[in-house]
Structure 1
Amino acid sequence: MSNSLLIVGCGYLGLRAGRLAQQSGWQVHATTRSRFETLAAEGFHPIAFDWNDSRTLKRLPTTTHVLIAVAYDRNSRVDRFASQVDGLARLVRHLDNGIPEHQSADVCYISTTGVYHQTGGVWVDETSPTHPSREGGKAHLAAEAKLRSLRVGRPTTTLRLAGIYGPGRVPRAADVIAKRPIASPPHGHLNLIHVDDAATTVMNSFDNQRFASRARSPLYVVADDQPVVRREFYREIARATRSAEPTFVEPTVDSGVRFRSETDKRIWNRRVRRDLLPQMQFPTYREGLRDVLQNDALK
Structure 2
Amino acid sequence: MVARVAASNAAASSSSGGGTLFCFGTGYTALALASALRARGWAVHGTSRARTKETALRECGVIPHLFDPSRGQGLGDDAIRALRSSSAVLSTVPPCEARGAHGLVDPVATLLRGLGQTSSRWVGYVSTTSVYGDDWGGDWVTEETPLGGRGPVAERAALRIRAEREWLSLAGALPIHVFRSGGIYGPLRNVLESRATEENARRRRAQRFVSRCHVYDLAAVLSRSIEAPGGGIYNVVDDCPAPRDVVERFVRGEPGGWAGGSPGSGGKRVSNAKIKSELGVRLEFPTYAEGMTAIMRGDARPFTPEALRALGGEVA
Q: Quote how far apart the aligned CAs of 1:20 are.
A: 1.2
Which secondary structure does the structure 2 equivalent of 1:225 belong to? coil
Aligned to 1:154: 174
* Amino acid of the structure 1 residue aligned with 2:210: L
Q: Quote how far apart the aligned CAs of 1:36 are.
A: 0.7
Which secondary structure does the structure 2 equivalent of 1:79 belong to? coil
Q: Which has the higher contact order (CA 8 A, sep 6+)?
A: 2
After superposition, the Cα gap between the structure-2 partners of 1:82 and 1:37, relative to the gap in structure 1 and judged at 3 Å, is same
Contact map agreement 2:34 2:44 (CA 8 A) in 1: yes
Higher-helix-fraction structure: 1
Equivalent residue for 1:265, pick from 251, 263, 268:
268
After superposition, the Cα gap between the structure-2 partners of 1:86 and 1:183, relative to the gap in structure 1 and judged at 3 Å, is closer
Residue by residue over 1:149-204, the C-alpha shift from the partner in whole angstroms, topping out at 9 and shown as x without a partner, is: 1231531100000000001111365679xxxx953434511101000110111111
TM-score, structure 1 normalization: 0.77
Contact map agreement 1:122 1:265 (CA 8 A) in 2: yes
Residue by residue over 1:59-103, the C-alpha shift from the partner in whole angstroms, topping out at 9 and shown as x without a partner, is: 33121110001146xxxxx635439824133321244x1x17xx4
- Unaligned 5+ runs, structure 2: 1-16, 257-265, 301-307, 309-316
Aligned to 1:123: 140
After superposition, the Cα gap between the structure-2 partners of 1:202 and 1:81, relative to the gap in structure 1 and judged at 3 Å, is farther
Aligned to 1:290: 293
After superposition, the Cα gap between the structure-2 partners of 1:279 and 1:114, relative to the gap in structure 1 and judged at 3 Å, is same
Q: List aligned pairs for 1:117-196, cutoff 5 A.
A: 117=133, 118-131=135-148, 133-171=153-191, 182-184=201-203, 185-196=205-216
Aligned to 2:251: 237
Range moving further from structure 2, 38-47 or 223-232: 223-232
Contact map agreement 2:69 2:107 (CA 8 A) in 1: yes
After superposition, the Cα gap between the structure-2 partners of 1:4 and 1:265, relative to the gap in structure 1 and judged at 3 Å, is same
- Unaligned 5+ runs, structure 1: 73-77, 246-262
Aligned to 1:79: 97
- State the alpha-carbon separation in 2 of the partners of residues 271 and 135 from structure 1: 27
After superposition, the Cα gap between the structure-2 partners of 1:296 and 1:18, relative to the gap in structure 1 and judged at 3 Å, is closer
Q: Quote how far apart the aligned CAs of 1:49 are.
A: 1.3
Aligned to 1:41: 59
Equivalent residue for 1:274, pick from 257, 277, 280:
277
After superposition, the Cα gap between the structure-2 partners of 1:2 and 1:222, relative to the gap in structure 1 and judged at 3 Å, is closer
Q: List aligned pairs for 1:27-106, cutoff 5 A.
A: 27-34=43-50, 35-52=53-70, 53=72, 55-56=74-75, 58=77, 59-60=79-80, 61=82, 62=84, 63-71=86-94, 79-82=97-100, 85-95=105-115, 97=116, 99=117, 103-106=119-122
Runs of 4+ with deviation above 4 angstroms: 172-176
Equivalent residue for 1:218, pick from 225, 232, 237:
232
Q: Quote how far apart the aligned CAs of 1:277 are.
A: 5.1
Contact map agreement 1:9 1:71 (CA 8 A) in 2: no
- State the alpha-carbon separation in 1 of the partners of residues 74 and 207 from structure 2: 47
Which secondary structure does the structure 1 equivalent of 2:105 belong to? helix
Residue by residue over 1:25-70, the C-alpha shift from the partner in whole angstroms, topping out at 9 and shown as x without a partner, is: 1110010022211110011101111244364353331211100011
Residue by residue over 1:117-144, the C-alpha shift from the partner in whole angstroms, topping out at 9 and shown as x without a partner, is: 2332111010111116112211111111
Contact map agreement 2:177 2:232 (CA 8 A) in 1: yes
Contact map agreement 2:175 2:231 (CA 8 A) in 1: no
* Amino acid of the structure 1 residue aligned with 2:138: G
Aligned to 2:9: none
Contact map agreement 1:88 1:143 (CA 8 A) in 2: no
**Aligned positions, number:** 260
Contact map agreement 2:170 2:176 (CA 8 A) in 1: no
Which secondary structure does the structure 2 equivalent of 1:16 belong to? helix
* Amino acid of the structure 1 residue aligned with 2:54: F
TM-score, structure 2 normalization: 0.73
Contact map agreement 1:81 1:139 (CA 8 A) in 2: no
Which secondary structure does the structure 1 equivalent of 2:136 belong to? coil
Q: Quote how far apart the aligned CAs of 1:15 are.
A: 0.4
Q: Quote how far apart the aligned CAs of 1:217 are.
A: 4.8
